[in-house]
Chains A and B, each alone.
Chain A
Amino acid sequence: AQSVTQLGSHVSVSEGALVLLRCNYSSSVPPYLFWYVQYPNQGLQLLLKYTSAATLVKGINGFEAEFKKSETSFHLTKPSAHMSDAAEYFCAVSDKRSQGNLIFGKGTKLSVKP
């Protein structure tokens, strides 16, 4: 069985500050890990994904995430927040066999203060 835990349902940062959104996973098989962003009343947009290649994954909009097996984590970071980054962020896990069947975390709402 697989699961995802996102620590913090709401994170608030100032514009220009570091963004850190936490995600821990549980998986009995090598995981595939994803970060998605959702803007109000819209679907999900893929930010980045880890599929057993490089552990540091760079995504769109300046985001990156590092897969740490020892910590079962896949935290999302961005060095400098922009107002347009305000959105809901979802971490998700699947595996090679069922990579279409994503298990989502509960989401973290990111607010960016001017």
Chain B
Amino acid sequence: GAVVSQHPSWVICKSGTSVKIECRSLDFQATTMFWYRQFPKQSLMLMATSNEGSKATYEQGVEKDKFLINHASLTLSTLTVTSAHPEDSSFYICSATDWDANGLHFGNGTRLTVT
């Protein structure tokens, strides 16, 4: 089946630094990728929708200058958390689809801890 690889699986960084998270579709071309944020014991909240070659569409309340999303190729999307703060600590999950495949495919998530 389709596989989405997310890297790193966990990262610890200091306040004020930036962190990049990668989401790769390994065996299909992902026309669209989605980025979610999940707080402890809560559901996934969609942050943004990323289409290859175009600017990401951000959900209301998500700061686009803080959460930079790049989808430069059909197999890779990146989320960069800029000037991270402790409140950005969360579990970030990506998903990908080629719209012809059988639904969405999720990465295993990235646990970000900002100290």
Which residues of A approach B to under 8 Å, CB–CB?
34, 36, 41-46, 49, 90, 99-102, 104-107, 109
Contacts and interface: CB of A to CB of B under 8 A. Distances in A.
B56 interface: no
User: Which label, helix, strand, loop or mixed, suits the secondary structure of the B interface?
Assistant: strand
How many of chain B's residues touch chain A, expressed as a range? 20 to 34
A43 B93 contact: yes
Interface in B57-115: 91, 93, 95, 97, 99, 103-104, 106-109, 111
26 contacts: A36-B106, A41-B108, A41-B109, A41-B111, A42-B108, A42-B109, A43-B4, A43-B95, A43-B108, A43-B109, A44-B95, A44-B106, A45-B106, A100-B34, A100-B95, A100-B97, A101-B46, A102-B34, A102-B46, A104-B44, A105-B43, A106-B42, A106-B43, A107-B42, A107-B43, A109-B41
B42 A101 contact: no
B40 to A, nearest CB: 11
B60 to A, nearest CB: 13
Interface of B: 4, 6, 9-10, 32, 34, 41-46, 49, 91, 93, 95, 97, 99, 103-104, 106-109, 111
